[in-house]
Structure 1
Amino acid sequence: MASKETVLSAAKQFVTFINKTPSPFHAVNEVRQRLVSNGFCELKEADHWTIKPLQKYFVTRNQSTIIAFAVGGKYQPGNGFSIVGAHTDSPCLKVKPISKITKAGYLMVGVECYGGGIWHTWFDRDLTVGGRVFVKTDIGIESRLVHVQRPILRIPNIAIHLMRDHNESFGPNKESHLCPVLATAVQVSLQGGAKADPPKPSETSTQTKSPLAPNYETLADKHNSPLVTIICDQLDIKPEQIIDFELYVADTQPSVIGGALEEFIFSPRLDNLLNAYAACEGLIQACGDESLQHDPNIRMISLFDNEEVGSQSAQGAQSALQEMVLHRLSSGGSQTAFQEAIPKSFMISADQAHAVHPNYSDKHESNHQVALHKGIVVKINSNQRYASTGITVTILREIANLSKVPLQEFVVKNDSPCGSTIGPILSAGLGIPTVDVGAPQLSMHSIREMACITSVYQATELYKGFFLNYPEVYASLQF
């Protein structure tokens, strides 16, 4: 076992990472920066790729998905790929394209529910926004990241005096009740801001708008002025420069190390930024010695967006992106190099797992009660909601033994629904042998989740060990 100091240090570095990532765009940007600082070069999808042994590369799509890889010194087209896959998105509230709402003297922000969040946990939290803004400049259109560091939004609960059954049956209407407050109309007026509800132009007006008119003429009609002002102040731009933005609502309370013995991580977005971070760190650390010189494989991490809504997007795991990247890396060999590479390859689908809940232990299968600190979880489902098979679990066990990382097993109760991951999607689409794993946690899909500090270190060590040892383990197989 690693020392408490080593485990805690790894957890603290992860906490620093997650506090900078209120959106998938920020997560990918942080991963990108870590890769660049460790010698990875960026490729563009539209460019011609020239791949060389011992070199390290990455490619992004939509600024929310990133695939990074290191080419083994003995790699030839037709050799295998060692892949760890994860996702960059989490359940959240997203600002609507037209978010301007005024109700009962409050200026509010219209939001859309993204994924399967536990929405009541978003009430009475100090909220902010983060995401990307498309800005018109003198040289063209830029995409800029924004993260407002102070609380500007709140979804207030209804007082129990006005809803006596609040504790027994609180089920908020996602359209009418889950709407954050931004400001009051009276304060906006007193401080000289735009009126909450500017008059609409008359339908009979003869004045017509030029089709070449800039977008900012309608920005005030789409979003309440305080929100626009805050975004402009953050980026030091004028409202007329904003073409559009894509904003995620996020909690301002930072991720922290907690518990009486400093053994927990209390944080948003553990599902699944813990595995996205650990996959990146595992790849970087695995490339930090001479082992890459002798590797016949390409070591790869694939961090996809939109897993929480089914992965069916241009930047999701159901897209052709993964297959296209593997095809490009197999080029230069025989006509069947890609097909030859697939059975030699292996993928770890890394997504968070359910630890046994002390207050709801009856919700967990009695022989598969996953615990914090006791290892990375192997997820198995006979109905193929997870991609693990007897072969892929056996391979993982050997890798875990070599990496000195303990494993646990999880299956869902027969009378409970089972979630899924990118594992079945990619294994079915590509035919790559895949195993589903994850770090144990509580409060999954809450605005504040809970995991243990041990998981960051264990996940990083497992993924690093996979990159280092998979070719040797594969060569030992006699079936």
Structure 2
Amino acid sequence: MSSIDSDATAQDLLSYIDASPTPYHAVRETARRLSQQGYRALDEREPWTLQAGDRVFVIRGGTSIAAFHLGTTPVDRTGFRLVGSHTDSPNLRLKPNAAVARNGYHQLGVEVYGGVLLSTWMDRDLSLAGRVILHSGGRPQPHLVDFRRPLLRVPNLAIHLNRTVNSEGLKLNPQDHMVPVLGLERQGPAELRALLVAELARADVRAESGDILGYDLCLYDTQPSARSGVNGEFLHAPRLDNLASCYSGLSGLLAMDKPSEATSGIVLYDHEEVGSRSAQGADGSFLRDCLERLVLGHSDGRADAIHRALRHSYLVSADMAHAVHPNYASVHEPKHQPLMGGGPVIKSNVNQSYATDGESWAYFAALCREAGVNAQHFVTRTDLGCGSTIGPITASVLGIRTVDVGSPMLSMHSIREMAAASDVAEMIRVLTRFFS
């Protein structure tokens, strides 16, 4: 466990994030890393042929991915060791009829996806990335795009025209105030479809504007991820919530050089930030469908094999946690104030916003102890609401024992978030221990 290079691991996380401006790109980057380590892709539309020791992955909807290293013992006897995270982050996404022309500007209409900290999207060099669906060969074909350059901006209103902004706060209407600027009308047309065709051509995909049937496009900050602090101890990056957890689960799985008795796996869902109610979300059938098919190909074949497998199973729901904020310590529960750099956080809520109970808390704490890693605890103040994760959803859908954990961070749901470099390796150490 101690052989993990904390500095190199933190830097690799930043590379993973920069390669993943959207859930589509996060899944592509995850699949690339899995394939490099000998994992093979399975197609849900085809029969699966499986045997002990196989390393496989499945993609659904282009934005969710599950990967498994099959154990040496049938799953109905040893179950699954699973880490669940999510690929999506709060952001701004284009509307279907996005073009807006007003007051001499070309703009693009956006919807707010998830709980965006809107003020942080102002005055940023924004780009576009996502999926474009083309009519090709008589049927729809998806292609990923990433402009990788400053293209859009949501400009702030000058303080001269908003004199009370510093004393009364910035108040933003997402419909009126978050419409990004694309160009000047006097400079000529700024047709989104033409821009997409040109960007596809850079990737050697030939298309015309009329070939575009649809798109799923996200705005993102073009500033690369970085490190700061006296000793480089801090990470500044977009989408740390929750690509940092995706990376930790993936790294723990890839650290397995040989199969364990139990089948190990990760499931990285889309749509957690908006409730998980989708075909590839945690409240959908994706994980259950995968597990049922793995049981069919790697058990004694009895009808109750899936139920027995689930009773032997455990899920670590990994989603970033709130570190204590030095300027707002009063909003934190006094005896549950995780520190960045202090190790993984076990998250609890008696109203089931987190799935942790005494047993699963103890289970993860023991893993931390075995890995030589300090564990921290987070509970929301009793007079504040509590966010949730895929943990309670997956636990209720599958009836699987679950613990909610995460690495501590600041600026959650900002366009640019903050975490500690050392916590990346610490979480990987514990998850590697979990899989082994």
Q: Same fold (TM over 0.5)?
A: yes
User: Contact between 1:368 and 1:411, CA under 8 Å: does it hold in 2?
Assistant: yes
Match of 2:315 in 1: 347
Report matched runs for 1:106-121 at 5 Å: 106-121=105-120
Match of 1:52 in 2: 51
Measured after TM superposition, the shift of residue 76 of structure 1 is 4.4
User: Contact between 1:78 and 1:330, CA under 8 Å: does it hold in 2?
Assistant: no
Q: 1:229/1:161 Cα in 2 relative to 1: closer, same or farther (>3 Å)?
A: farther
Match of 1:178 in 2: 178
* Distance in structure 2 (CA, Å) of the matches to 1:383 and 1:84: 22
Match of 2:222 in 1: 252
Match of 1:133 in 2: 132
* Distance in structure 2 (CA, Å) of the matches to 1:148 and 1:266: 22
Match of 2:234 in 1: 264
* Distance in structure 2 (CA, Å) of the matches to 1:37 and 1:105: 49
Write out per-residue CA displacement over residues 26-65 of structure 1, whole angstroms, 9 at most, x where no aligned residue: 0000000000111111111111112210111110100100
Match of 1:420 in 2: 388
* Distance in structure 2 (CA, Å) of the matches to 1:2 and 1:88: 28
Write out per-residue CA displacement over residues 427-474 of structure 1, whole angstroms, 9 at most, x where no aligned residue: 111111100000000000000100010121111111111000xxxxxx
User: Contact between 1:305 and 1:316, CA under 8 Å: does it hold in 2?
Assistant: yes
Report matched runs for 1:200-219 at 5 Å: none
Normalising by structure 1, we get a TM-score of: 0.87
Number of residues of Structure 1 aligned to a counterpart in Structure 2: 430
RMSD: 1.7
* Distance in structure 2 (CA, Å) of the matches to 1:260 and 1:178: 35
Measured after TM superposition, the shift of residue 225 of structure 1 is 5.9
Match of 1:242 in 2: 212
Measured after TM superposition, the shift of residue 93 of structure 1 is 0.3
Q: Give the secondary-structure state (helix, strand or coil) at the position aligned to 1:161.
A: helix
Any stretches of 5+ residues in structure 1 without a counterpart? 189-193, 197-222, 469-479
Measured after TM superposition, the shift of residue 395 of structure 1 is 1.2
> Is the aligned partner of 1:441 residue 2:406?
no
Measured after TM superposition, the shift of residue 333 of structure 1 is 2.1
User: Contact between 2:193 and 2:212, CA under 8 Å: does it hold in 1?
Assistant: no
Measured after TM superposition, the shift of residue 374 of structure 1 is 0.8
Match of 2:20 in 1: 21
- Tell me which amino acid in the other structure corresponds to 1:142: Q
> Is the aligned partner of 1:321 residue 2:286?
yes
- Tell me which amino acid in the other structure corresponds to 2:165: H
User: Contact between 2:145 and 2:200, CA under 8 Å: does it hold in 1?
Assistant: no
User: Contact between 1:148 and 1:234, CA under 8 Å: does it hold in 2?
Assistant: no
| Range with bigger deviation, 438-447 or 135-144 | 135-144
Any stretches of 5+ residues in structure 2 without a counterpart? none
| Range with bigger deviation, 134-143 or 304-313 | 134-143
* Distance in structure 2 (CA, Å) of the matches to 1:105 and 1:128: 21
* Distance in structure 2 (CA, Å) of the matches to 1:393 and 1:347: 12
Q: 1:229/1:185 Cα in 2 relative to 1: closer, same or farther (>3 Å)?
A: farther
* Distance in structure 1 (CA, Å) of the matches to 2:348 and 2:75: 33
Instruction: Report the structure number with the largest CA radius of gyration.
Output: 1
* Distance in structure 2 (CA, Å) of the matches to 1:239 and 1:127: 23
* Distance in structure 1 (CA, Å) of the matches to 2:66 and 2:324: 33
Match of 1:92 in 2: 91
- Tell me which amino acid in the other structure corresponds to 2:404: D
User: Contact between 1:78 and 1:333, CA under 8 Å: does it hold in 2?
Assistant: no
* Distance in structure 1 (CA, Å) of the matches to 2:157 and 2:195: 24
Write out per-residue CA displacement over residues 323-376 of structure 1, whole angstroms, 9 at most, x where no aligned residue: 121111222521111111122100000000000000000010110111011100
* Distance in structure 1 (CA, Å) of the matches to 2:14 and 2:216: 24
User: Contact between 1:372 and 1:451, CA under 8 Å: does it hold in 2?
Assistant: yes
**Identity across matched positions, percent:** 41
Match of 2:267 in 1: 302
Q: Give the secondary-structure state (helix, strand or coil) at the position aligned to 1:85.
A: strand
